[in-house]
Amino acid sequence: MTTVRAGFGQRLTDSIAARGALCVGIDPHPALLNSWGLDESPGALERFAMTAVEALAGEVAVLKPQAAFFEIYGSAGMAVLEKVVAHSRDAGALVLLDVKRGDIGTTMTAYANAYLDEHSPLAADAMTVSPYLGFGSLAPAFGIAEQTGRGVFVLSRTSNPEGAGLQRSTGEDGRSVGQSIVDAAAENNAGSEPYGYVGVVAGATIRPGELDFSRLNGPILAPGLGAQGATVQSLRSTFGSALPSVLPATSRDVLRHGPAVNDLRTASRRVRDELTHLLDS
């Protein structure tokens, strides 16, 4: 395990300062493959994913490959995912692997080593994790992330409607489940500058003021921009004073403009420029 010189909070801050606050997902969904005139084969997967990397890895702050769409092709798909991670990082983008892993003990340690350890072929700059076996079960991922200068994004209040029943439910202390996850992440980030390595996932479609991020001191990954209904303009009302910590994420709103590299770049720049204008206004 090799220590990375700068912590994830600093590296993410630097990347956003240089490239704008935008995360683009690489989601090789069958419908998107077909819209690009591609079939559902490992070769088509590679063409899709590497075209997205060519177009976007030199442009955006963060690329977020969705691992499930690579896993369905077996070892051939995982080989493409390794290539996506390596080439994206070589081009200067931070890579957030959307794997949503959550387990206990040595199994959680293995997941963390797979996606955060420097010597793994799938080592990314950050990974998504699920806390619903208990926030403490994620400790192996936190330890490895901190040691290697990488990040962890914990599901707090997700953008899918099915998550509301669980994530809005309240405990004995009156806090929602989602808020308790934000607060637990804040404990890990206390005292970090410019902020910590534990981020949370909070959908751009949640109700305004639903969560209090004032103590988080970490990044907020906000999926749901575009196809799921959130707009750049709605981000301010949704996140309020926490907006400077928000990393909005979109996938289909950019990828649907493929397969031409220039069209993908133009789409990503449009969204990025709208976000920059929002943050500067």
Residue positions annotated with a catalytic role:
100
Residue 220: name the closest of 251, 197, 199 by CA: 199
Sequence-distant (≥ 6) Cβ neighbours of residue 75 within 8 angstroms? none
Residue 154: name the closest of 102, 191, 110 by CA: 102
- Helix, strand, or coil (residue 226): coil
Cα dihedral sign for 43, 49, 55, 58? negative
Helix (H) or strand (E) holding 131: none
User: CA 266 to CA 40: how far, in whole Å?
Assistant: 26
Q: How far is CA 182 from CA 87, 150, 187, 207, in A?
A: 32, 19, 9, 16
Burial profile 246-263: b = 16 or more Cβ within 10 angstroms, e = fewer: bbbbbbbbbbbbbbeeee
Token pair 């912590």 in the structure block, residue: 7
**Half-sphere exposure of residue 119: CA atoms within 13 angstroms, side-chain side:** 3
User: CA 179 to CA 185: how far, in whole Å?
Assistant: 10
